[in-house]
Chain A
Amino acid sequence: GAVVSQHPSRVICKSGTSVKIECRSLDFQATTMFWYRQFPKQSLMLMATSNEGSKATYEQGVEKDKFLINHASLTLSTLTVTSAHPEDSSFYICSAFFVAGGGDTQYFGPGTRLTVL
């Protein structure tokens, strides 16, 4: 299957700082990537759809000025959590869309666990 990496895997920061998370498709080009958030024992929540070369599409209730998304190349999307607060502590997971003849498939990165003190 296609490989998606995410960095860092874990980050602890102080309240008020900004944190950048990188998502890379390693062996394929992804014009579309997704960012999810998952709280403990809850289901995945789609935050935004990241499109290469254009603005991200945010889901209802997700603040675009707080969660900045940049999809600058066909293999890299970044999520920046600005002025992080303890309530932003969560598991952030990216995924990349692999378009193939047999079907369009979404592959997930390993996730980034963010803890805001």
Chain B
Amino acid sequence: QKEVEQNSGPLSVPEGAIASLNCTYSDRGSQSFFWYRQYSGKSPELIMSIYSNGDKEDGRFTAQLNKASQYVSLLIRDSQPSDSATYLCAAYTSGTYKYIFGTGTRLKVLA
């Protein structure tokens, strides 16, 4: 059974701090990894994608991938109350046409 695991949280951080969200995956064949943000009552929105080991930065967001450890993380710098949401991690193996989603981590940024 291919799985993606996330701590459900809530993860509470003060405004302006760095929020660190973590994810592990079981399928070593996974090649692509995604972070989605989902506000309550809304559908998921793509935040970051990462395909290679190392860091990928986009504005306040940095995704980190370590394939040897089967570990993906998302760092949010200068966290804002508007970042409060559930963050979903997903893994994808090319050709399977199926994403494996984690259950999500709820982030609360305290003003």
Contact = CB atoms under 8 A, between A and B. Distances in A.
Contact of A97 (B34, B49, B97): B97
Nearest to B51: A103
Contacts of B42: 110-111
A20 B101 CA distance: 26
B90 to A, nearest CB: 8
A73 B45 CA distance: 24
A109 B98 CA distance: 17
Interface residues of A, number: 19
A43 interface: yes
A108 B43 contact: yes
B94 A107 contact: no
Contact of A104 (B32, B43, B45): B32
Nearest to A51: B97
A111 B51 CA distance: 27
B92 interface: yes
Contacts of A93: 43-44
Residue among B90, B98, B102 with most chain A CB within 10 A? B98
A75 interface: no
Given A103-B49, A106-B34, A49 B44 contact: no
Interface string B32-64: 101010000111111001010000000000000
Interface string A17-49: 000000000000000100000000001101001
A15 interface: no
Interface of B: 32, 34, 36, 41-46, 49, 51, 88, 90, 92, 94, 97-99, 101-104
Interface of A: 1, 32, 43-44, 46, 49, 91, 93, 97, 102-111
Shortest 4 CB-CB contacts between residues of A and residues of B: A111-B43, A43-B103, A108-B43, A93-B43
